Amino acid sequence: MIAPKPLNLTQERYPRLCQWEITCRCNLHCVMCYTDCFNRPEKIRNELSTSEIIRIMDELAEAGCVELCLTGGEPLARPDFFDIYGHAKTSGFLVTLFTNGTLITEEVADRLAALPPHRIEISLHGLRENTFEEVTQGKGSFHRCMKAIQLLLDRKVPLLLKSTAMTVNKDEILAIKRYVRGLGPVGYKLGEEMRPTLDGSDAPGRFGLSEAELLDINRQDPELWTEICRKQSMGTTSCVSGMRSFHIDAYGQLQLCSGNRQMSYDLRRGSFSEGFYHALPSFPCEWKGDTPRPLIQPSEIHA
């Protein structure tokens, strides 16, 4: 196990949270997904190898990074997932896993429970099979996802369920949240951002809701509305991505966040320390200015 360096919390910049898109491969093709355009053999072949991921992960640990979010694509679609996950855990990271849940079998759930993550976040975009599978475009995905949720609940693995509000499922969002509330100690998160795909297509935007529709959904739930009001009361604070949080894509490119890939630093060729402390501060971000921000805002780290 690598002993992380103590953090100097008086520094303005230090690497605390890494969101790592370890693959763009996925067994589903969700209609709003911005990475699915790279879910192709020629792109997958160029993704980081196991040894490259472990080498970079060791550099993160050496730099004092504490939290690691493994996302995709679908992280569990990598055959070496548990090699990567196991190394992250033994290196001392607080590991969060973003997954669609459909590849979580009893064996996978047992392995996760034996070496539990900080949290698993599963996308639940509908409570009706037809709605869910209209989003995922994967036959049988609804029942596999619901089974995965139960498998993790049975093993008391920390769990959060989340939905993206869109035209396909807008009438089920509040029902999903009520369902989650009935599961006990399970969190819920509502996302609203529609991003262009990694190859520049604006196709996911056709599933986006207007700000008025999003506000209407949020107003109907006291907890959602309280959160919206809390964010609004914070004013127009600038984005902090690249200060303590950062993003690494499936090809080893270090970026400010998953929503800003205008510039990258190649971790295959250079060191994490060089990239974080010398390259990232020069990367442009429109959210770092004083431009007024809308009431409905994407996450500050665009996770």
Residue 234 pLDDT: 72
Higher-scoring residue by pLDDT: 240, 45: 45
Mean pLDDT, residues 263-283 taken together: 97
CATH topology of domain 17-288: TIM Barrel (3.20.20)
More confident residue, 79 or 242: 79
Both structure tokens of 240:
């902090």
CB atoms within 10 A of CB 225: 14
pLDDT for 193 equals 87
What radius of gyration do the chain's Cα atoms show?
Answer: 19
Residues 58 and 11: beta-carbon distance below 8 Å: no
> Taking the CB of residue 159, how many other CB atoms lie within 10 A of it?
22
Q: How would you class 176 by CB atoms within 10 Å of its CB: exposed for 0-12, middle for 13-18, buried for 19 or more?
A: buried
